[in-house]
Amino acid sequence: MAAINPYIIFQGNCEEAFNHYKSVFGGEFTMLSRYSDMPPREETDLPVEIKDLIMHVELSLGKDAILMGSDAGPGAPPTVRGNNLHISIAADSKDHADHLYNGLSGGGNKNMPMEKTFWGSYFGMCTDKFGINWMIGFEEQS
């Protein structure tokens, strides 16, 4: 079975965002490298302003999920915030869902409050302060 791991590109605030996500989800960075960690290449000099930015980071969210990200590198097109992508998180409990929702929505927008839905889930949606859309749900067992 293939694993799907979300990868988020930021415009210079990846480290701030991932430290926030670590405070919400817990877990550890299993990898964190900066552009300055790249081996030198003769054909291009790394711009000084990006040397300390994140080239790649991985935050373990449990045995089956890794949240990945980076700051846009030299020559990359600018990121565009959109509403066509949401990261869906399956919580372990109602309390866990509330914790994730409150942590992720802090400083952002609470688009749909956590509530029991007509399809039977405890579910809510928010956009975090970095412009990332989240869907948090808990499936109560009958």
29 DSSP β-pair partners: 59
Q: pTM for the complete prediction?
A: 0.84
Domain of 13, in residue numbers:
7-71
76 in any annotated domain: no
Alpha carbon of residue 98 to chain centroid? 17
Look at residue 73 in the predicted model and tell me its pLDDT: 80
Give every CB contact of residue 111 below 8 A, 6+ residues apart in sequence: 125, 126, 127, 133
| Whether residues 107 and 134 fall in one domain | yes
Look at residue 3 in the predicted model and tell me its pLDDT: 72
91 in any annotated domain: yes
CA distances from 89 to 20, 76, 100, 131 (A): 16, 28, 9, 16
CA dihedral 92, 113, 99, 14 (to 10 degrees): 100
| Whether residues 15 and 60 fall in one domain | yes
133 in any annotated domain: yes
Contact between 41 and 4 under an 8 Å Cβ cutoff? The reply is: no
Look at residue 99 in the predicted model and tell me its pLDDT: 97
Tokens of 53: 């930015």
96 in any annotated domain: yes
For residue 104, give the DSSP letter.
H
| Whether residues 66 and 117 fall in one domain | no
CATH number at residue 98: 3.10.180.10
Q: Which stretches of the chain score pLDDT less than 70?
A: 1-2, 41-44, 142
